Amino acid sequence: MKRFKKITIALLAVVLFPLLPLAAQEDALLFESYDPLIPQMFAFDKKNAIFAGINHVDNEIVIVRYRENQELYISHRILVDKVEGKHDIAHIYRPKSVAIYDGYIVFLASHVDSCYFAVLDLNGRLVNKLMFLGQANAFSYSPSARELYISGENPTGFDVIVLNTGNGIRNVKKEDALALHYQRYSMSEEIAKRDPWGIGMAVIAMSVVFLALLTLFLVFKQLGLRLVALQRHSRKAQETKIEVKSEAIYSNMAISEGVYAAIATAIHLYGEELHDVENTVLTINKVSRSYSPWSSKVHGLNTYFKR
């Protein structure tokens, strides 16, 4: 029995061993290295020992190589877009991502409503350039699918451009590109879709208004009651203070009737002594005056009436 198991295992190993490389190759195709759709500032090609990077200050793509003494130097500078003399900053192409695929340097440049994808050789010469509408931020490459994906976001959704690289990176064509757009609905469109007649919105709006009015009514009512209560309390406190003061005054003034009579007599005598005794004598005298033309009113009239 043990000998039969050993023979069976040996036969399976002989049959399955030639198929292991094929399975490994299929796994490699299925699980290829992931190239994420995120912007890349640098790229490295190990085979040719060169770097490619983005210089945001000068708005260019730089190619860095090795010297014989293992020193790095910039071999080429590729201007993405001219910045000097342009006043509309939003329409200046800025480099977004760079990579090295199949021996070519590729980069993506974009501004507010347009972008372009460029392919360079390792010496910095432009091989291909494709222009697209819409803002783009990153790209990714799938060697197994032979496709290159460009993605971007705009205020209304997302854009994805699929380029066919079956003939190589340098031979991609805009005519073969597939443009996909995801429309992101705005809040008003979502509300209109869920509530086409606007009944829910009307109920919510009216409820909010009435609740706000009710809250204001309760607040002002409570505030008024508090103010009235404080006013009554202060008035009662003042009345109690006045009563206490009056009682204290009356309690301290224990005066007899004789004192009141003496005070009244003193006031009467004081009023009698204010004027001296005087004789009534008329001092008006009648004075007679003779006629004088100087005081006559006739001479002051206009001579026109005499004519």
Burial label for 115, CB within 10 Å (0-12, 13-18, 19+), is buried
- Euclidean distance between CA atoms 105 and 54, whole angstroms: 12
CA-only gyration radius of the chain, Å = 55
Indicate if the pLDDT at residue 216 is higher than 90: yes
Q: Return the SS3 of 15.
A: helix
Give the angle 31-35-123 at the CA atoms, nearest 5°. Answer: 125
Shared domain for 155 and 231, answered yes or no, is no
Nearest by Cα to 138 from 230, 231, 41, 235: 41
Indicate if the pLDDT at residue 16 is higher than 60: no
Expressed as residue numbers, the domain containing 205 is 192-246
Average pLDDT of the residues in 78-105 = 88
Average pLDDT of the residues in 235-250 = 71
Shared domain for 126 and 203, answered yes or no, is no
Shared domain for 178 and 206, answered yes or no, is no
Number of domains in the chain: 2
Indicate if the pLDDT at residue 33 is higher than 50: yes
Shared domain for 76 and 167, answered yes or no, is yes
Residue 22 lies in a domain: no
**110 vs 16 pLDDT, higher one:** 110
Shared domain for 145 and 221, answered yes or no, is no
Residue 278 lies in a domain: no
For residue range 167-201, list pLDDT tens digits in order: 888 899 888 888 888 877 777 777 787 888 888 88
Shared domain for 151 and 238, answered yes or no, is no
Residue 35 lies in a domain: yes
Q: Where are the beta strands (DSSP E) in 165-284?
A: 178-183
Shared domain for 61 and 139, answered yes or no, is yes
- Euclidean distance between CA atoms 209 and 162, whole angstroms: 51
Q: What is the mean pLDDT of the chain?
A: 78
Indicate if the pLDDT at residue 20 is higher than 60: no
- Euclidean distance between CA atoms 12 and 89, whole angstroms: 69
134, 150, 184 - which closes a domain: 184
146, 163, 184 - which closes a domain: 184
For residue 297, the 8-state DSSP code is S
Residue 102 lies in a domain: yes
Shared domain for 159 and 196, answered yes or no, is no
Indicate if the pLDDT at residue 242 is higher than 90: no
Q: What is the pTM of this model?
A: 0.54
Shared domain for 118 and 233, answered yes or no, is no
Query: pLDDT class for 17, splitting at 50, 70, 90?
Result: very low
Residue 279 lies in a domain: no
Query: pLDDT class for 26, splitting at 50, 70, 90?
Result: very low
Shared domain for 175 and 51, answered yes or no, is yes
Give the CATH number of the domain where residue 119 resides.
2.130.10.10
Residue 152 near residue 136, CB atoms below 8 Å:
yes
Average pLDDT of the residues in 65-75 = 80
